Amino acid sequence: MKLSQRMLDTVAAMAPEAFARRMLEEGRVRAGLTRHRLRLDDGLEYVYLEGGRGEPLLLLHGFGSSKDNFARVAAHLTSYYRLLIPDHIGFGESSKPAEGDYSPPAQAERLRRFARALGIERLHLGGSSMGGHIAMTYAALYPEAVASLWLLDPGGVRSAPRQPVWESFKRTGRNPLLVDSGEDYARLFALLMSDPPYVPRPVFEVMARARIANREVEQRAFEHFGRDPLEARVEGLPVPTLIVWGEEDRLLGVACGERLQQLIPGARLIRLPGIGHLPMIECAERCAADYRAFRAELAG
């Protein structure tokens, strides 16, 4: 029997952390993903999800989020590809060095070592928001190691018009991506998605507390990310690229996608009406179908 939202709130309130863990695990099971750990030679540890068979597809989450942001879309991909979905260093369950370098080049270099530790020299690469910035940086640094790019509302473009939220940040100093309270997290959640999934209120509060606890690392990561404009790095990038953009993205407007399409030769841009910043969550089945079609075209 499917519980109503009110009943889910009541059940979740009995043990919020346990209920949140159960929700994540159920999403992973549905997607055919299992959780793993990998320690690099410098001692930094990645926690990642893996599932499926076929050519490797490395998926990179955005700022402040985690590997489980890809669980919905992964359910439509693990029958076709071998998925590897890590928490970035500094986020989720992976290592969070207080003085770490969280710039896209540093993250890309670590991910290259992560892939090679798994015996993978060449892969397909996807990324959402900040993860898209890191994915493009990876491809620019190691073009021979990247078979294709899948970019979901990626960050890093500075030469396109900015959304009003960033003008507000410039004026007030209030960063919309950093979380100091439950109210901040609620505002961010509403900003990111036009059609968000339902999350029981007690679970929502667990998620907010995790963001608050990681606030100092996220501040550092945001500063490093913000000092890394992307355009010169990706202009002329010789990697087949699919760009996906929610037309209702209030964080990074679709003009950024249009700019990337100009910079990356042959890049294809898909615009999604009624969708916000996280299409792999808001319209997972459509995103997966478009991606599979892209990969089929590449295969010829």
Residues with catalytic function: 61, 129
| Count of alpha carbons within 13 angstroms of residue 209, beta-carbon side | 9
Distance, in Å, from the CA atom of 99 to the CA atom of 97, rounded to the nearest integer, reads 5
The two three-digit tokens of residue 276, written as one number:
């916000």
Amino acid in the structure at residue 66: S
Q: Which residues of 185-210 are buried (b: 16+ CB within 10 A; e: fewer)?
A: beebeebbbbeeeebbbbbbbbbbeb
Beta strands in 24-115 (DSSP E): 34-39, 45-51, 56-60, 82-86
Spatial CB neighbours of 72, under 8 Å, sequence gap ≥ 6: 27, 31, 197, 280, 281, 284
Q: List C-alpha distances in Å: 244 to 128, 140, 272, 284, 286.
A: 10, 19, 7, 12, 11
Phi, psi (5° rounding) for residue 216? -65, -45
Q: List C-alpha distances in Å: 226 to 155, 158, 222, 268.
A: 10, 10, 6, 26
Burial of 109 (0-12, 13-18, 19+ CB in 10 A): middle
